[in-house]
């Protein structure tokens, strides 16, 4: 680069200006690429934030699993915080926006009598297949797959407690929109859900594949089923049981991907 610079200076002012313009063009292209990368990162962050907000519906902390442990100010503050998250990650014209806000309030109110308690919830895994930004940089299309879970305790008619850990894998196409220079989820345009039970069935049927050892995984699932089949006499006993479950160990979708890859290789 140093030799080229001296050569162009000797060739005169016109060429020097020419190379300066080329340098500016290269800088502009680099700046545009960096801006594009930043926009993609912002879109991905907002998309994940929207899904996490959905998973936080009705969440609160309680020693009994009931919102009666919370005073009115606590409930109002929880509702305010949730509304702020919805407003941050969901566009003003998203059809789920008001619905999630109303549902969150309903869950907090219902949990004053019955136990509908989420211990933890969230995203176990995700991957983005593509992020396509419009020319005016005001909208974007996101194709992604993510695995979500919800560790919950519920009271039943016999005044005992049941536990469950639903896990789903969703593959979606979504539209993001930029409002006040902030990317937000406008809509989920397509959704394909695989439930954990269906994934486990495929894995168990694949046990004939010599290239995949599913023994440890199926043992973990059997132990998990035994825990979830019980009724627990107290909220604390149910909480102790569900805290002993590792959601990563019972997530079937990594194993399912391994099985599917083995099936493709065996078919070749």
For the stretch 78-101, pLDDT in tens is 999 999 999 999 999 999 999 999
Please say whether the beta carbons of 131 and 144 come within 8 A.
Answer: no
Please say whether the beta carbons of 150 and 123 come within 8 A.
Answer: no
Beta bridge partner(s), residue 130: 143
CATH topology of domain 35-193: Nuclear Transport Factor 2; Chain: A, (3.10.450)
- Residue 112 DSSP code: T
The pTM of this model reads 0.84
Q: Give Cβ neighbours of residue 11 (< 8 Å, ≥ 6 apart).
A: none
The percentage of residues in the chain with a pLDDT greater than 70, rounded to a whole number, is 85
Determine the pLDDT at residue 136.
94
Please say whether the beta carbons of 67 and 60 come within 8 A.
Answer: yes
């Amino acid at each position: 680069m140093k030799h080229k610079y001296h050569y162009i200076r000797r060739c005169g002012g016109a060429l020097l200006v020419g190379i300066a313009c080329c340098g500016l063009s290269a800088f502009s292209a680099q700046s545009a690429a960096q801006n594009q990368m930043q926009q993609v990162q912002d879109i991905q962050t907002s998309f994940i934030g929207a899904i996490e907000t959905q998973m936080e519906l009705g969440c609160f902390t309680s020693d009994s699993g009931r919102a009666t442990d919370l005073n009115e100010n606590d409930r109002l503050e929880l509702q305010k915080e949730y509304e702020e998250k919805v407003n941050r990650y969901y566009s003003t014209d998203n059809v789920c926006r008001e619905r999630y806000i109303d549902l969150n309030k309903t869950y907090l109110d219902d949990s004053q009598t019955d136990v509908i308690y989420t211990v933890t919830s969230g995203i176990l895994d995700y991957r983005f297949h593509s992020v396509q930004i419009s020319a005016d940089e005001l909208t974007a299309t996101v194709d992604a797959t993510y695995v979500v879970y919800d560790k919950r305790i519920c009271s039943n008619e016999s005044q005992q407690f049941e536990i469950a850990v639903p896990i789903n894998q969703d593959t979606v196409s979504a539209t993001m929109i930029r409002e006040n220079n902030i990317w937000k989820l406008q809509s989920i345009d397509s959704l394909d859900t695989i439930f954990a039970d269906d994934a486990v069935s495929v894995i168990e049927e694949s046990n004939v594949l010599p290239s995949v050892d599913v023994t440890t995984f199926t043992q973990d699932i059997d132990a998990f089923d035994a825990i979830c089949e019980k009724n627990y006499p107290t909220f604390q006993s149910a909480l102790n049981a569900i805290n002993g479950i590792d959601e990563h160990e019972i997530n079937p979708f990594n194993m399912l991907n391994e099985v599917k890859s083995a099936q493709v290789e065996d078919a070749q």
